[in-house]
Structure 1
């Protein structure tokens, strides 16, 4: 495995932690600021909307900058946003910090996907993308449960201070391990936008919004849902997040492996199984054991779609993949935002 993939995974770990950890501490944040749980849910949907906006915007602004320098800038933005969230005296300022951090998210994964795919042979591109996203899934096994535990024990502000520190580690990893390749190939901004003339790119992004939206409709309010509906204690939420993260980790790796062999069959199978798991959750949510098992399945099947969807976009926009790749990351989070809003 190229060491540059490790650097990308480190950055993904930090970003994944800040994206998902808010779900585990949402009741504490809502209580501290005196807002309702649905209102606090804007810390999830606001972040997601920031990804949707930041992904194409920052990618376009960075077309004349080397991919390595752009990745470093994005990690700096991530650190600033999480620091603001940690010290915010009001809900509005915390939401602002979340949005600032989120602006880096889509562009990082979009540019990172292109870098990861370029580091390996063509038949291993989906696996390379899944290795970068492995940082995101490991965040859900280690970072998110750990951050939730720390948030419940020492306060959610400590969690976000540590997340900012993770960003600093990610910045150093990119600086030391990602090769300096100069500017991206001589593709103009107009050339990047031309990729969207391909209807397959739009189809892939539509599937991303709908598929990932289904996952987040169930996951955004995992803490209140598993405590108030399934009957778990607040302390058990940490371990439920670990279980969800293990599912994500396995689904992501298997999704990349099988997508390299048969992209579209793998994608359609995963989406069909995800739909079935989400429907099943409506029946199992009131039973502790069944709810936990279904939660893990949703994590696995949801993230099994990530490598094939991202590779599909890269394949269809191969002449100018950077903006299309970032836009698809934005599509993941558009589904996230819609799910958080509809679920609340």
Structure 2
């Protein structure tokens, strides 16, 4: 594997941990800062929203900066924000720290993606992007159990200090092993945003958004699903989460390798279609735990396998705005997570069973498939934009 890609993947794991690690320590934060758990939960909601919208904006504002320098600066801000979270005496200061970490994380992740696309050969680009998404997915799925385990032993504040220390290690690796990367020729922000109006690009982003929305319609409520449908104890639930996490981590690499082997377009359709079918089948497998486990592993692997071929597709479609489009796609991913969690909650509030979230999630993925097919069948941008 390319050493630079490995270092960038390690960096994404480091910064990605900060997003959902809060999910498992909300009671401790609420008790320590004398707030309700609901209020503490806003630390996750606000992070996701700031992350989704700040990535494209910050990338555009820093378009003229040398990329290694910008990466180092972003990691430094990330470190300072985590120190703020560690020492925060109030919810207000902790929220300010979360906003800073969301902004810096969004920029670091998109820089990792864009730099990776530049330092590898086009023939291996999708596979390399897959390794970056392995880092992103592993940090998201492992953050909660890791946070619970460490906070029980040392308290919740040490989590942020530990993540800050890890970011210093990432800064050292980036400083010594990453070459200077000059920014590409600047495309006016208006033109970059204008590209979003093109059906080919918009359809690709929407495919990502609805794929993740369908996934989180179910996954956000996975614990009650396992409790009510399989009657699992906390011990077995932890095992299922661990297996799901392992499969999700491998999903990014699988998607990248598949795209390099079959092409991004075929991979996109295959992954979304397979994912849709798995969600529809999932409720019918709960009569036998090990059958459900096998299907769940496939579900986990597919859940994070779309991003690499989709990112590679966006680069192929419009190289001139590929950096900002990768950032928009990462934002679509975050919005999909938020939307899916909301849809699943609505299903349960309306009296639906936990198992019905899988069917609703599958229906949402149908929308993703329609968006992907629409994008793939639109004329090339050169025909529309005169490039």
How high is the TM-score relative to the length of structure 1? Answer: 0.86
Q: Distance in 2 between matches of 1:223 and 1:83?
A: 32
Q: Distance in 1 between matches of 2:15 and 2:268?
A: 25
Q: Distance in 2 between matches of 1:300 and 1:160?
A: 29
Which of these two proteins has the greater Rg computed from alpha carbons? 2
Q: Distance in 1 between matches of 2:241 and 2:112?
A: 26
Q: Distance in 2 between matches of 1:13 and 1:28?
A: 24
For the 8 Å contact 2:63–2:186, the answer to whether it is kept is no
Change in CA separation of 1:100 and 1:121 when aligned onto 2, cut-off 3 Å: same
Structure 2 spans left out of the alignment, 5+ residues:
346-387
Q: Residue 332 of structure 1 aligns with which residue?
A: 333
Q: Residue 303 of structure 1 aligns with which residue?
A: 304
1:51 CA drift (Å) = 1.2
Change in CA separation of 1:81 and 1:317 when aligned onto 2, cut-off 3 Å: farther
Q: Residue 121 of structure 2 aligns with which residue?
A: 121
For the 8 Å contact 1:4–1:179, the answer to whether it is kept is no
1:190-209 equivalences under 5 Å are: 190-209=190-209
1:12 CA drift (Å) = 0.7
For the 8 Å contact 1:255–1:307, the answer to whether it is kept is yes
Q: Residue 18 of structure 2 aligns with which residue?
A: 18
Q: Distance in 2 between matches of 1:262 and 1:6?
A: 23
Deviations 1:168-218 (A, max 9, x none): 222222222221022333433344334334321111111111111222333
Q: Residue 267 of structure 2 aligns with which residue?
A: 266
Q: Distance in 1 between matches of 2:246 and 2:132?
A: 16
1:77 CA drift (Å) = 2.7
1:311 CA drift (Å) = 1.3
RMSD over aligned CA atoms reads 3.0
1:228 CA drift (Å) = 7.7
For the 8 Å contact 1:195–1:321, the answer to whether it is kept is no
For the 8 Å contact 1:67–1:183, the answer to whether it is kept is yes
Which structure would you say has the larger RCO, counting Cα contacts within 8 Å and 6 or more residues apart? 1
Bigger mean CA offset, 155-164 vs 243-252: 155-164
For the 8 Å contact 1:18–1:163, the answer to whether it is kept is yes
Q: Residue 47 of structure 1 aligns with which residue?
A: 47
Question: Aligned pair count?
Answer: 343
Q: Distance in 2 between matches of 1:291 and 1:86?
A: 40
1:289 CA drift (Å) = 5.5
